[in-house]
Amino acid sequence: MRNSGAAAVVEGIGDHGCEYMTGGVVVVLGPTGRNFAAGMSGGVAFVFDPLLEFPGKCNLELVDLYPIEDEEDEDLLHSLIAEHGERTGSTVAKALLQDWFTTKKQFVKVFPRDYKRVLESQKTASANEIEEEVLGETDAFEKLKAISSLATPVTPANNASPKNVTKNLPLKKVRPTRSAAPTKLKGFVAYERETLGYRDASERLLDWKEVHFPCNDAATTETLLATQSARCMDCGTPFCHNTNTGCPLGNKIPEWNDLVNQNRWRDALDRLHETNNFPEFTGRVCPAPCEGSCVLGIIENPVAIKVRIARFPNPDTLFGPITTTVYSYTLRKTETFVFTKRASSAPSWTGGSRRAGSSRPRPRTGRARRSR
């Protein structure tokens, strides 16, 4: 029988069944002869084999045998047997359908290898086309913003100002977003995402204040940042700091998050400066592709990263109080360098040259000697 597209149901078949078959579906409800599926290049056959004799009668040069596990295959086989029973009054079909749960396990699917590969390629191509259409209709930048800083609104309970609540977004939060003593272990399970959010652009144009909504006090800010950093799970595949998929600067975000969670702000700043010379600026204007590439974002809101880069604690908290020590150096008897030093474990130097009698500093090179 050289089927090329028909759907056939038989209750037995002799030698060379489905020889050179190129399409269609064949269901065999009884015994088969030898050399089944010789030269079979297309279509599919289902053979009832309660005695497990069929593999020895099948020509396996071009085909493979599979159990009936796919739901689509089961529905097709059941419908064909049911239709055969209705049209012919077959007692064989009726008996098989009475105990279908057992019967379906005794069928064997005969599937040509090349035909299977072609069908899988077509399914993959179709899925890719659908995905491309969906992506083509999606504004990637808007989607990135949606899962970034404005993805989760701040509730009035967490921030007193009603202006801080993002419009048209749900306010209910099942998990806490802040904890006095956040736990790093399973932090992404225990805590929900929260960001400070942005003030309205029309407001920000009128002043030089922070672009983010302010927290009530420094303690509240540190609690928020420590809790949010605990959500970073050090996933082992940190796409967030990969320059091709996340941060274009390659900031070591998982390590940095861990230091923030431990309240080691000095070490966190040093780690950030290894890859970023100006976090005070980039932390505010960057669209946060690191958050868009966060592995946690596959299943829920990603880790809030950007807000911590922009909201370091007060420098006095990090490095101690600022005191000024003046060192005066004379250049060619007419110019003086004045340096100031921060009294801390990490000195910060500022300075410039100033002509004698002038209050305007200007840069100058040359050999300096200490003024007496």
Topology (CATH level 3) of domain 4-133:
Pectate Lyase C-like (2.160.20)
Per-residue pLDDT of the chain (372 residues; tens, 9 = 90+): 678 889 999 999 999 999 999 999 999 999 999 999 999 999 999 999 999 999 999 999 999 999 998 999 999 999 999 999 999 999 999 999 999 999 999 999 999 999 999 999 999 999 988 888 887 777 766 665 555 443 444 444 444 444 444 444 444 446 888 888 888 888 888 888 888 777 888 988 898 887 777 666 677 777 888 888 888 887 877 888 888 888 888 888 888 888 888 888 888 888 888 988 887 777 777 888 888 888 888 878 888 887 655 555 444 444 444 443 444 344 444 444 444 444 444 444 444 444 444 444 444 444 444 444
Burial of 77 (0-12, 13-18, 19+ CB in 10 A): buried
Cα dihedral across residues 268, 217, 194, 286: positive or negative: negative
pLDDT at residue number 64: 95
The total number of residues written for the chain in this structure: 372
Burial of 318 (0-12, 13-18, 19+ CB in 10 A): middle
pLDDT at residue number 134: 81
Cα dihedral across residues 95, 96, 102, 107: positive or negative: positive
pLDDT at residue number 38: 94
Q: What angle do CA 14, 20, 25 make, to 5 degrees?
A: 75
Residue 123 CA to residue 168 CA, distance in Å, equals 38
pLDDT at residue number 324: 39
pLDDT at residue number 18: 93
Q: What is the pTM of this model?
A: 0.42
Which residue pairs from 13-18 have beta carbons closer than 8 angstroms and sit at least 24 positions apart in sequence? Answer: 17/45, 18/43, 18/45, 18/110
CATH 2.160.20.60 domain range(s) in the chain: 4-133
CB 232 within 8 A of CB 254: yes
CB 197 within 8 A of CB 213: yes
Residue 32 CA to residue 11 CA, distance in Å, equals 9
pLDDT at residue number 140: 66
pLDDT at residue number 244: 84
CATH 1.10.1060 domain range(s) in the chain: 144-318
Considering the domain 144-318 in this protein, what is its CATH number?
Answer: 1.10.1060
Q: What angle do CA 303, 148, 188 make, to 5 degrees?
A: 20
pLDDT at residue number 241: 83
pLDDT at residue number 141: 63
* Per-residue tokens: 359: 């209050």
